[in-house]
Amino acid sequence: MLTPPYYAVIFVSRRTPVDSEGYAAAAERMLALAQIMPGFLAIDSVRDPTTGQGITVSYWQDEASIANWRQHAEHRETQLTGIQRWYEYYDLHIARVERAYQSAKRLVTSTTGE
């Protein structure tokens, strides 16, 4: 379990119906890349395939880690493609986690649903 304070990037989006054009590969690549970035802590990601609605929350040590990831060259390129092609819309919230709770049952600290 993560110990506050840490930072969360909440990414809420809806995919376009375009299911080709490299989205799955790019999403997988960004996930792998994020996980080796300095300050990366964990990620939770869920998308409902029937509606295209998705929420991804990534957790980071501090704001500098988030800024560093945002500026990453390959990530920037993918962001641009995402805006132009893969997402009907997105919302982004950068937040400082102040408290955290967890059920007794969870065994893993990070999940990706896609």
The tokens for 7 are 């930072």
| Comparison of 12 and 37: residue with beta carbon closer to its own copies | 12
Question: 12 or 33: whose CB is closer to its own copies?
Answer: 12
Q: How far is the CB of 93 from its own copies (least distance, A)?
A: 5
Residue number with CB closer to its own copies (33 or 42): 42
Supply the minimum distance, in Å, between the C-beta of residue 9 and its own copies: 10
Least Å from the CB of residue 45 to its own copies? 8
Pick the closer one to its own copies by CB: 22 or 113: 113
> Left (φ > 0), alpha (ψ -120 to 50) or beta: where does 39 sit?
left
- Which has the closest alpha carbon to 42: 67, 92, 6? 6
Q: Could you tell me if 38 and 47 are in contact, meaning their C-beta atoms sit under 8 angstroms apart?
A: no
* Binding interface with its own copies (CB under 8 A): 1-2, 8, 10, 12, 14, 44-51, 53-55, 57, 59, 83, 87-103, 105-107, 111, 113-114
Rounded to an integer, what distance in angstroms lies between the CA atom of residue 100 and that of residue 1? 8
Q: Dihedral sign, CA of 18, 19, 25, 30? A: positive
